[in-house]
Amino acid sequence: MEHILLATNYPNLCGISLYNIEPEKAINLFTGDTIVCSLLTNQIKHLDVEIKDDITREFSDENESNMFELILSLGKCLVDLTFSEWFSGKSLNISTLNITSTGCVSSSLTKLKIEVNTFDDCLYLLDGRLQCLSTLIIKIFEICYSLANIDNKKTLPKLKCFSLTSECYTQFYDDGIVLLLRRMLNLEKLTLFLLVSKIESTYIDGIQLYDEILIFMPRLNKLTFSINTLVFNRYITVDLPSNDDIQNSFIKRRYQPVGSYADEKLTDYAGRCHVYSLPYQFDCFYHLTNCFQGGIFNKVRWLAMADQHPFEHELFEKISHDFPFLQKLVVLNSKPQKNKQHASTLITFVHLVELDLRLAHTNYVEQFLLETKTCLPHLKNLVIEYESLAMITNNFTNDATRRNCSQLRRIDIDKPFICPENFHSYFPLFKDRLFHYIDKSKKPQCKNIKFKRVFQFLYLLLIQYIYDDFCNPTTWRYGKLIPYFQLCSISYYNPQIKNWTQHLIEIEYRVKESTTLLFFVIDHNKRSLAIIAEVYYLSAHRSNIIVVMNSMLENKKQIKIYSIKNFINDKR
């Protein structure tokens, strides 16, 4: 690229797009006496940068060059910036910003499209450092409780267009997202793609959206949204609205056409609701359930289905029609199908490239792989449990499943296995790389050095302490902790379920990702190792975790409480 830019002068060049560039290459382009630096300083107004690293490597704050800050400092004429960074092994794009830096300042930028780690990053971008910013399109990896002292009340009169996307469930809706949106008094265009979890509450509907947010935006003329609500109501009774009630809540406020579906009754204290503007404008569609009302979703490429009731053949037939350009499908359902008789209609997913059945009952493996039920002419990637695949294919000899497997180029399986005799011939497009092994024990790669300290800390906890008996954690939480949490208005999640199913595990996982505070009590029993591993993983994505370790001293017990957040701050 440098050779082209150096070949002649480009006095009218006002925009550059740099895609799929490695971090080292980006550093070379934006530092030193380079043609890119010269153009960015003197004339470039529009810049798209996508930094992508396919090699797993260790990162640290000390040797990291803050590309975002560097670009802002160079871009004296920059008015429109799109910035993202991808790293190997990440399921979502996670930027490596150090937005707290005072160097992240621009007096010319009016439009920014960016992907960040936390809600705090978003608040920093809106604290006045981008003086002329009128359009912010932001994707946040995780929206959780704000750990920084950032003003979330000052009005944002210059902001005209705001788009917020987050694909992790958050409990920080009322205390974070709503407060932020109320600051945008002159907003004209609003886009929201959110997954919200609430405890002892009800679904987000048209009345809530208007009374809590839209009434504060008198100039708003375009609203595009997709909002999933997941509620957990165990200790109080909440009358959940029906889908008709939800539709009426939008009609009364004179919204544009809105689609919705909702659980009218809780299952194991949980219920789901999804409301979205029509026509649907997003490429992802999360948590479709049996309550789905249908429609046409031409823009959707990625669909996730989840329910505690079985999915039948007719629903998949509806999905193939309503999502005609679907490329990736994830099915989460541990319940067997009730109507397994031969279906007269063959379902075809013309564009489906990737199918994830890892958390699905074997009935759904049969539903998709049997050529008498489903046709998958372009399926390339399959995510699945080995036992399910071997059973439905009859150890890779079943001709009825051969056609839908014939185009596969990759299979993700969660444990290693020995390829049986017929495996290679059953997947003819596999060459040397027969499958991809998902190593669950592998450490997540963390760029920020504070996460490394968390790992070291938790590892020391694991090897340093010998655990002794402790009073029943369930009784202890219910008798002491929960009343204290309620008194302090702290949200909590305290499952009391005898029979854990895969779906409940998924729910618990989502809650733990999004909750304000995670509180772990670790004693001597075998499950402690699993909890340690869970704390180890979650601590890489958040810092508001408290671990109570029960250690054994001579002739007495002592509870030692560690706040990981404080530990990190002390060791910086």
Rounded Cα distance between 326 and 380, Å, is: 13
Rounded Cα distance between 354 and 461, Å, is: 40
- Kindly report the average pLDDT of the chain as a whole number: 78
Sheet holding 518-522, edge to edge: 518-522, 545-553, 556-563
Q: What is the pLDDT of residues 125-136, one digit of tens each?
A: 998 889 999 999
pLDDT above 50 for 376: yes
pLDDT at 144 (0 to 100): 83
Could you give the count of Cα atoms lying within 13 Å of 381 in the half-sphere of its Cβ? 11
Rounded Cα distance between 85 and 116, Å, is: 9
pLDDT at 214 (0 to 100): 96
Structure tokens at 235: 């200790």
pLDDT at 208 (0 to 100): 94
pLDDT at 342 (0 to 100): 59
Predicted confidence band at 515 (pLDDT cuts at 50, 70, 90)?
low
pLDDT at 297 (0 to 100): 98
Rounded Cα distance between 354 and 365, Å, is: 13
Contact 353, 328 (CB under 8 A): yes
pLDDT above 90 for 278: yes
Among all chains, which residue has been given the structure tokens 């910035």?
Answer: 83
Asked which of 212-216, 440-444, 500-504 is least confident by mean pLDDT, the reply is 440-444
pLDDT at 468 (0 to 100): 28
Please list the alpha-helical segments (H only) found in 67-143: 67-74, 119-125
Rounded Cα distance between 544 and 329, Å, is: 33
Residue among 251, 249, 241, 244 nearest 202 (CA): 241
Predicted confidence band at 235 (pLDDT cuts at 50, 70, 90)?
confident
pTM of structure: 0.74
Structure tokens at 213: 């947010």
Rounded Cα distance between 211 and 209, Å, is: 6
pLDDT at 507 (0 to 100): 58
Q: What is the pLDDT of residues 47-79, one digit of tens each?
A: 999 888 765 454 443 334 478 888 888 888 999
